[in-house]
């Protein structure tokens, strides 16, 4: 396997983090500056990534400033999640695992300001969001069928959390 040397993304996108599909055929990049997710096909033998699709991480009608922070795939590879700092939400996408493309499934509030980082629980049943400017760690329940997130009412006060890891 050759690592990719570069990939062409939209000017000003500002790629921040990326995640590979389990089969290494696709790469998903969250773009901090223009609040998008870009899907790239990945040719490991050639070390080449090619942009296939780009979608907004923000709900229609959102106005104001927002930047992206984090991105994760569900353990089964069926859903992709990206955080919005400004809209203070998690964007949820269904993944077409044959073509690698995404379809918007919905958004969930992180119930706090500036979700800098988040993590899916090892069993896939929950998403924990670190709201840096609200000083909260919020637990959202995750549906394995739809990928959607719902409030649990569970939150912990933690001074300016910026990273969530399950070890």
Whether residue 164 is contained in a domain is answered as: no
Whether residue 7 is contained in a domain is answered as: no
Number of domain units in the chain: 1
Residue-wise pLDDT tens digits, 65-123: 999 999 999 999 999 999 999 999 999 999 999 999 999 999 999 999 999 999 999 99
Give the range of the structural domain holding residue 86, as residue numbers without chain letter.
15-157
Residue of 82, 154, 92 lying closest to 117 (CA atoms): 82
Whether residue 35 is contained in a domain is answered as: yes
Whether residue 3 is contained in a domain is answered as: no
Whether residue 43 is contained in a domain is answered as: yes
Whether residue 9 is contained in a domain is answered as: no
pLDDT the model gives residue 8:
79
Whether residue 73 is contained in a domain is answered as: yes
CATH for 19:
2.130.10.10
Please say if the pLDDT value at position 3 is more than 80: no
pLDDT the model gives residue 139:
98
| Structure token pair of residue 3 | 């690592």
Encode burial over 95-134: b for 16+ CB neighbours within 10 A, e otherwise: beeeebebeebebbebbbebbbbbbbeeebebbbbbbbeb
3-state SS class at 70:
strand
Mean pLDDT in the chain? Answer: 94
Phi–psi pair at 88, nearest 5 degrees = 55, 55
Whether residue 66 is contained in a domain is answered as: yes
Please say if the pLDDT value at position 2 is more than 80: no
Residue 115 DSSP symbol = E
pLDDT the model gives residue 5:
66
pTM metric for this prediction: 0.95
pLDDT the model gives residue 130:
97
Whole-Å CA distances, 104 to 33, 36, 148: 20, 12, 10
Residue-wise pLDDT tens digits, 49-59: 999 999 999 99
- pLDDT level of residue 140 (50, 70, 90 thresholds): very high
* Cβ within 8 Å of residue 141, ≥6 positions away: 125, 126, 149, 150, 151, 152
Q: What is the CA radius of gyration of the chain?
A: 15
To 10 degrees, the CA torsion angle through 159, 36, 61, 81? -60
């Amino acid at each position: 396997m050759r690592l990719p040397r570069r990939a062409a993304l939209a000017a000003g996108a500002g790629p921040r983090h990326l995640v590979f599909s389990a089969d290494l055929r696709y790469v998903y990049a969250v773009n901090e500056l223009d609040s998008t997710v870009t899907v790239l096909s990945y040719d490991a033998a050639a070390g080449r990534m090619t942009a296939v699709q780009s979608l907004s991480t923000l709900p229609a009608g959102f106005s104001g400033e927002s930047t992206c922070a984090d991105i994760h795939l569900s353990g089964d590879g069926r859903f992709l999640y990206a955080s919005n700092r400004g809209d203070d939400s998690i964007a949820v996408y269904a993944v077409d695992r044959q073509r690698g493309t995404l379809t918007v499934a919905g958004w969930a509030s992180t119930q706090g300001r500036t979700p800098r980082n988040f993590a899916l629980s090892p069993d896939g049943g929950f998403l924990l969001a670190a709201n840096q400017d609200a000083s909260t760690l919020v637990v959202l329940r995750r549906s394995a069928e739809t990928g959607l997130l719902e409030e649990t009412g569970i939150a912990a006060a933690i001074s300016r959390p910026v990273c969530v890891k399950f070890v």
